[in-house]
Amino acid sequence: MERDLRARYAERYQVYTASSGEQGLDLLRRLRLREDPVALLLVDQRMPGMSGVELLAAARKLHPDARRVLLTAYADTDAAIRAINDADVQHYLLKPWDPPEDRLYPVLDDLLQTWRPPPPVANLRVIGDRWSQASHAVREFLARNLVPYHWLDVETDAQARELLDVAQLDAGALPVLVLDDGEVLVQPDLQQVGARIGLRARAERPGYDLVVVGAGPAGLAAAVYGASEGLSTLVVECSAPGGQAGTSSRIENYLGFPVGLSGADLTMRAREQAIRFGAELLVPAEVVGVRRADPYTVVALQDGSEVSASTLLVATGVNYRTLDVPGAAGLTGVGVYYGAGRAEGVDHQGDRVFVVGGGNSAGQAALFLSQFAASVTVLIRGADLESTMSRYLVDRLAASEKITVEYRTEVAGALGTRRLEGLRLRSGTEERETPADALFVFIGQAPRTSWLDGVVRRDERGFLLTGTDLWTGAGTKPPDWPLEVPPLPLETSVPGVFAAGDVRHGSGTRIASAVGEGAMAVRFAHQRLSTR
């Protein structure tokens, strides 16, 4: 193994070896004390002193960002599954790995490509108040766009107060961004932040073959296939690539990734792939409306600019519905959250955390948050989880000592002024109050389609109608469909405008389904372009 690793990676990485688990742990401790980053751990399951799973679980605490790979024999499949659940391995390899060009290097190359050395803490600094909605919005924007930053809480960090003094600012000016070159941004909006960190918010051309609105799995898939097939492709995203999938701590049922991957990892791979093929990505750029200039669709952006699209794909996905109970709105971002990222997890280390919702996103969030919180309570209105959550998640929730599930329970109110301090819970006709430090909400879904009012037909809930769903009866042509031929699959009531992913009526609400629809939409876009 050492021979094969040195042959491939010695020019770019230092390769260390250890002959036992204890020796390996000792080496990892010394590297941690020296603050040397570790990119990848390749550990045999069978070795003296301890198992590979035990070593990887211990190493995770020392070097949490290192990629973890378990080397197993065919008889060790149970160990591989334990490694996935207990040590959060990214891959496992079967012995023998010969030839390494086929069975070793491709796997390690892929893992190392997604590994990023820890950034210097002095790069981008965010000075703010942990319990400020504005500070949370900036931190969430940076995290969702995979921009590393160093967080300085004005209440607990002396460096934060020192930097404010140097910049001649007081605590009323928060949040403050200190950029790499020393420039200071005071209470910036997200467009300013995006411009300063190198995100592009204006299109390079007035028109494109394919404009994709939304950079979730469906939108990114369309960008990859559209750009790779020669279509001039523009992707417009209002917040950050990845959509709801990008906020998922772990995606475990995506084809081809048996040990799962994070939403951020999937997003980074897809974004880089689309850009490599030549797609343009605008972030943050909000679409506020569309109009027809037949045969084109003109997309209006919030900054007043317009972009012409020969074909348009709507892949804006859905938002989680906000919790409509007393006190919740004023505590959004300061104890009440819609999505669970690493920043929120770290902020609530050792806290009492509640998760509302019975779907897969709620289950994944509960498991992720249990790594940080003292306790996680899942609240659902129904009598069981099996009808709304995948079996593997139900089993993992039941196996966690930190997670409990309360059935037939809903949130009736959020308590607190400056931050969340408690919840009012309702079970049947009885209500009670309980202390709470954080509430993560995953209830219901609402499509982001209001910008299409009066142009594209939607169902009663706002989801876009496509293909045969547009027909009012057996073989009856819709009155608003202008062509003699029926709409293509995924085509909306406007020729050349398609929909893919969760925003579409009748979608599969799975990441794989969204990716497939995004790819299919490009095929249908080619068909529509060929008829003009």
Q: What is the residue-wise DSSP string for 483-522?
A: SSSPPPTTB-SSTTEEE-GGGBTT---SHHHHHHHHHHHH
* Positive or negative: CA dihedral 40, 45, 47, 53: positive
Q: Are strands 233-236 and 207-213 parallel, antiparallel or unpaired?
A: parallel
Q: In a 10 Å sphere around its CB, with 0-12 CB exposed, 13-18 middle and 19+ buried, how is residue 170 labelled?
A: exposed
Q: Are 378 and 352 in contact (CB under 8 A)?
A: no
Q: How confident is the model at residue 438 (pLDDT cuts 50, 70, 90)?
A: very high
Please report, as a single letter, which amino acid is at residue 89.
V
* pLDDT for the residue numbered 385: 94
Task: Express each pLDDT in 32-66 by its tens digit.
Answer: 988 899 999 999 988 888 988 889 989 988 998 89
pLDDT of 277 higher than 60: yes
Query: Between helices 217-228 and 263-276, what is the axis angle to 10°?
Result: 20
Q: Is 484 or 80 the better-scoring residue by pLDDT?
A: 484
Over residues 135-152, the mean pLDDT reads 90
Domain with CATH 3.40.50.2300 in the chain: 2-114
**CA atoms within 13 A of residue 433's CA, in its CB half-sphere:** 8
Give, in words, the CATH class of 2-114: alpha beta
Residue 359, CA distances (Å) to 32, 68, 81, 324, 362 in order: 38, 28, 23, 19, 5
Domain 207-319+446-530 has CATH 3.40.50.150: no
Tokens of 363: 């289950």
Task: Express each pLDDT in 326-346 by its tens digit.
Answer: 999 999 999 999 988 888 998
Q: Are strands 296-301 and 287-293 parallel, antiparallel or unpaired?
A: antiparallel
Q: How confident is the model at residue 473 (pLDDT cuts 50, 70, 90)?
A: low
Other beta carbons within 10 angstroms of residue 396's beta carbon come to 19
Other beta carbons within 10 angstroms of residue 8's beta carbon come to 17
Q: Which of 392, 398, 394, 323 is nearest to 358 (CA)?
A: 394
Please report, as a single letter, which amino acid is at residue 376.
V
Q: Maximum distance among all alpha carbons in the chain?
A: 75
Cβ-based neighbours of 466, under 8 Å, separated by 6 or more: 487, 489, 490, 491, 492, 498, 499, 504, 505
Tokens of 216: 């979730």
Domain with CATH 3.50.50.60 in the chain: 207-319+446-530, 329-443
Domain with CATH 3.40.30.10 in the chain: 125-196
> Which 3 state secondary structure label does DSSP give 425?
strand
Tokens of 25: 């742990």
Q: How confident is the model at residue 370 (pLDDT cuts 50, 70, 90)?
A: very high
Residue 476, CA distances (Å) to 404, 471, 494 in order: 52, 6, 17
Task: Express each pLDDT in 475-510 by its tens digit.
Answer: 677 788 888 888 999 999 999 999 999 999 998 778
Over residues 186-198, the mean pLDDT reads 91
**Among 3.30.70.260, 3.40.30.10, 3.40.50.9100, 3.40.50.300, what is the CATH number of 125-196?**
3.40.30.10
pLDDT of 320 higher than 90: no
pLDDT of 121 higher than 60: no
- DSSP code per residue over 168-192: T--GGG-SEEE-TTS-EEES--HHH
Give, in words, the CATH class of 329-443: alpha beta
